[in-house]
Every structure is written in C-alpha cells, then in structure tokens.
Amino acid sequence: MAGGVPSFRRRAWVWRPSGAGLIAALLLGWAALAGAADIHQAAEEGDVTRLRALLTASPERVNEPDREGKTPLHFAAAQGQLEAVKLLLEFKADVNARSSSGITPTYLAKGFGKAEVAALLARHGGVTTVQKPAPKLVAVEPKPVVAPTPPRIIPPSALIAAVRSNDLAAVRRAVAASSNAVLTVDAQQWTALHHAVEEGNPEIVKYLLQSGAPVNARALEEVTPLHIAVQRGSPALTALLLEFKADVHARTAIQATPLMLAAARGGAREIVKLLAEAGADLNAKDKYGNTALILSAAAEPDGTAEFLLQRGASVNEAEKNSGFAALHHAVLRGNRPLVEALLGAKADVNAALASGETPLSLALFEERREIAEILRRNGGKTPEQKPLTDLERSLVDQYQRYHLTLATGSFEQVRMLLTQSAPTSNEIRRVFVRQPELAWQIQEKINRDEIAAWASANRSDKDRALMLELVRDGARAGEYQRLTPMPPSPLFKEAQARGWLAPDVPAYALQVTRRGGQVFTLGDYYLVGQRWVIMPALSQVWPGLLPR
C-alpha cells in the first residue's frame, strides 16, 4: 500500500476551468458520486454556493427525492431558507412535488411558520393540500379513450360567488332565489358547501347545511366537504359536518379517509379524536397500504400516533411498496416516546423495508444512538450480509481505513490520501492490455488537474476548509455504514471479454450505504499487487466501448 495510505479514488471526471473554477469542478467530480444527501443537505442548510455548484453540474437533480420522497425544495422550505428556495425555483424545481406521505414544500413552509418562504412558493403556484402522489406509470398497450359524461354545471353560480366572498347576506339571497342553488357545482364538481368549508366560514357552512346542502357531495377525486375540513385543520368545521351526519368513512380517489388525512397533516390531534369518536376505522388503508398510524408516525410528532395506539390501531401494517411501518417512521423522526410506545404495543422490531433496512439500521444511519440502544434491548438487529470472500474482505477493510482518514485527516493528510490513491504507470500497464499508453495519458491529465486544484485550494484557510468539507461530503468517523462488494460494471466485463484488460486481475464495484441511508456505488476497483485502485474510466479510454 503506497506510503501506508489507503488507496481509494473516485471515478475520473472531466472539466476545463482554471483557478477557483478548477477547485469547484474537481469537488463536483467527487460530489456527483456521493448519493442524494449532498444536495438535500445543501438545501436544508441554505448553502447557496454549494447548491448552485451541484445544480450547475447536474441540473436534473433539482427534483431528486430522498428515501421519503422529499426533494431539495422540501428541505429548504422546511428550514425557511429563502435564497435556497429562490435558487431551486430558478432551476425549475417542482413547486408541488409531493413526498411519500403527500406533503408539498408549501405545506412544510406554512407548517413550520416560514411565512416569507410560504408566500414565495404560493406565488409560484404552491399548494398545501396533502395527497399521496400518483404511482409511476408503466407503458401499456394504447386503448381507446371514452370520455366520461360531464357533470351538470350551472355557470355562473351566484351562490358559489357569494360563498367565496364570505358574504352571508348574499348567500341567503342566492339560496332564496333558487331552491336548487345548494346543488350547483363548478368545473371541479365542488358545491357551495365545498367552497364554504375551504373558506373556513362556520356561519355560512351551517346555513348551507340547514338549507339542505348535501353534506357528502363528492367532487373530483371523490373529495367531500369533510375531507376539506380535515385538511384545513379545522376542528370546529369537522365537528359541525359530523353533527350533520358527514360520512366519516368517505374515501378519496386514492382511498384516503378523513382520518388518514388528519393523521398525515400533523398537528391535528383534536380532529383525529373527533373522527375516532365518530366511528372512523382506525385500520383503514389507502391504495398504497398506509394507515392513519403510519401517516401520523411520519408527520410532525404531536401525540396523534400515541392516541391511535391507545384506541387499538394495528401496529404492524406497512406501506405496500416500500415496507414502511409506523416504527420505521418513528425512528427516522427521532421520536423516542413513539418508538417506545410502538415497541410496547408489540411492533415488529425487525420489520424490513423493501430495501432490506431494519429499524435498527435506520437508527444507526441517522445516528439516533439512544433509539438504537432501545431497539437493541428489544431484540433489534441490522440486516444480515452475505459472507465475504477473502478478496471482498480486503476491499471492505481498505475502504474502512480510507473512510477513517477521509473523515478525520487534516487538509494535507486528505490530499495525500487521494493523491497516493492514483494508479501508477506500472499498475495501469498491468491492467490495460490494449492501449496502456493512452490510459496512462488520461491518468496523467487527471493527476495534473488534481495537483492544480489542491494547490489552488491551499491559498487560504477558507479555501482549505471548503475543499475538505466537500471532499469529505459529510463523512464522519465511526458512522454506521454497510459495504457490499458488487460485480464489476458491464463495461469492465465487455473489455475483459474482448481481451483488452488483463484476465487475471480481480475487480469489484463497492456499494456503500451510509448515514441517512444514502446509497452509492464506487469503482470499478482493481486488485493490483497488494492494493485496490480505480483506473481511468473505460469510457474515456475506449469511447466506443458498449456493453453487450
């Protein structure tokens, strides 16, 4: 091992700038391989410089979701990072992107009291309604489309206009003028009662109900006035509608009940209690398999999940695709009281997600040490990994040493770590049977650019700190991570099959799962002599090489 330093190096990158731009390009070459968390962290911290650099390098990442479906805009909005929000919108961020629990960035901004950010998002069309995103579509055989019969619409509606104006006197006049006024719908099939609930005017809502407005009228997406009252977070309107026999079991197009919407909203414990006392099914599932307990565990902690547990909610239900149960969400939230309550209610401490993660592995990834200890005391385990061969173990051990130096080393130590990781001329000639000289020329160019970048970064304490921060990309000593050797890339296999690479040099890719559950793959790594090294990208050496 050269100089005793673990020999690791990320994939080769391409850039042409100089000076400070050279540093940024170098850093971005590493950052692009670090997983989704870097861009979310930059957005959350309002680090506009880093965020702009990441987006400039990869504009398509502007809507990159994390494990819970949250985009960078969700993170920036929740923290009130106004400049970061502006930048994300500049890069065409989806203002109404929904997390896996149906939350929008605008909803988060309003919920956390970030008024300025909420107003900006609203001006860009941001909404606050909670609705699970539609499932991804797959290609199917085209079929004739039969347009449904449109509902009977009576435009314009004096009653709906009066309701939107919060003018009770005008509402009375419109109802007096036509006994059917309360049945009129708009283009969204909303009745005057839907609008009155949305406006939040209890006097008008009560008058319409007393005037015969259908309390369970269904609009597009099967939304009833009770769904709207719940999403508005209004206990008074919820109670009023229930008094007039609103259907507590009514389901939207995604099979969400009012109770589910209240649970997902967060901060609506009083509404949840009203619905439960009215007979709401605590264990009803939406089309994704979510229950009210799962949704409340994912929302901002407010005691709702504990209330549902006390009422007898089923504790081990899980979302269909991801496998997320209430315990997984409680762990990610760092909600220790709920974790303890769920375990006390016999939650499966080792329930695995579709990705294989258990509650304990999530706690370790998130550095929730107290929660991790609670889970261990209750029998919690991390996912089992397949036994490693001696070669695989040597790769994993070397990466662990590399990670420790990267996480704790000084500017000079980290520079040496990465510089000494570069393959030598002899190592390249050992691996590349075809065109080893070209491969070495590419590597020499990488080496020169790297030396220039580190020299430029060494001009001031600020530049050195920035270089270290971005190269480390959040790596910390002692953090939980799972390292899984994987088969090498298809390009490696194709090149070796053609006889362009030495047939007797072992190679692996390395899948790294680390804090936050971010997963990224490094490599290919080649075992040359006693160390694993990354060679110049095969696509740069042989641009026409394609896997079969």
pLDDT digits (tens, 9 = 90+) for 131-165: 544 333 333 333 333 333 344 444 448 999 999 99
- Greater confidence (434 vs 135) lies with 434
pLDDT digits (tens, 9 = 90+) for 369-389: 999 999 999 999 999 888 999
How confident is the model at residue 13, as a pLDDT? 23
pLDDT digits (tens, 9 = 90+) for 4-26: 222 222 222 222 223 333 333 33
- Greater confidence (59 vs 336) lies with 336
Calculate mean pLDDT across residues 74-93.
Answer: 92
Q: How many other C-beta atoms lie within 10 A of the C-beta of residue 68?
A: 17
Residue 532: which H helix or E strand, with range? strand 531-534
CA 18 to CA 8: how far, in whole Å?
A: 25
Residue identified by tokens 């398999």 is 289
How confident is the model at residue 374, as a pLDDT? 98
- Indicate whether 410 pLDDT > 80: yes
Instruction: Output the six-digit token pair for 430.
Output: 């050992």
Across the chain, what does the average pLDDT equal? 85
CA 23 to CA 454: how far, in whole Å?
A: 7
Predicted confidence band of residue 70 (pLDDT cuts 50, 70, 90): confident
Calculate mean pLDDT across residues 520-537.
Answer: 92
- Residue 38 CA, distance from chain mean position: 12
Per residue, the 3-state secondary structure of 138-198, as one string, reads CCCCCCCCCCCCCCCCCCCCHHHHHHHCCCHHHHHHHHHHCCCHHHCCCCCCCCHHHHHHH
* pTM of the complete model: 0.64
CA 548 to CA 370: how far, in whole Å?
A: 49
How confident is the model at residue 36, as a pLDDT? 41
How confident is the model at residue 66, as a pLDDT? 78
How confident is the model at residue 21, as a pLDDT? 36
- Indicate whether 284 pLDDT > 90: yes
pLDDT digits (tens, 9 = 90+) for 319-332: 998 899 999 999 99
- Greater confidence (113 vs 279) lies with 279
pLDDT digits (tens, 9 = 90+) for 496-523: 999 999 999 999 999 988 877 677 888 8
Structural domains for the chain = 40-124 (1.25.40.20), 157-378 (1.25.40.20), 386-457 (no CATH), 477-547 (no CATH)
How confident is the model at residue 282, as a pLDDT? 98
How confident is the model at residue 270, as a pLDDT? 97
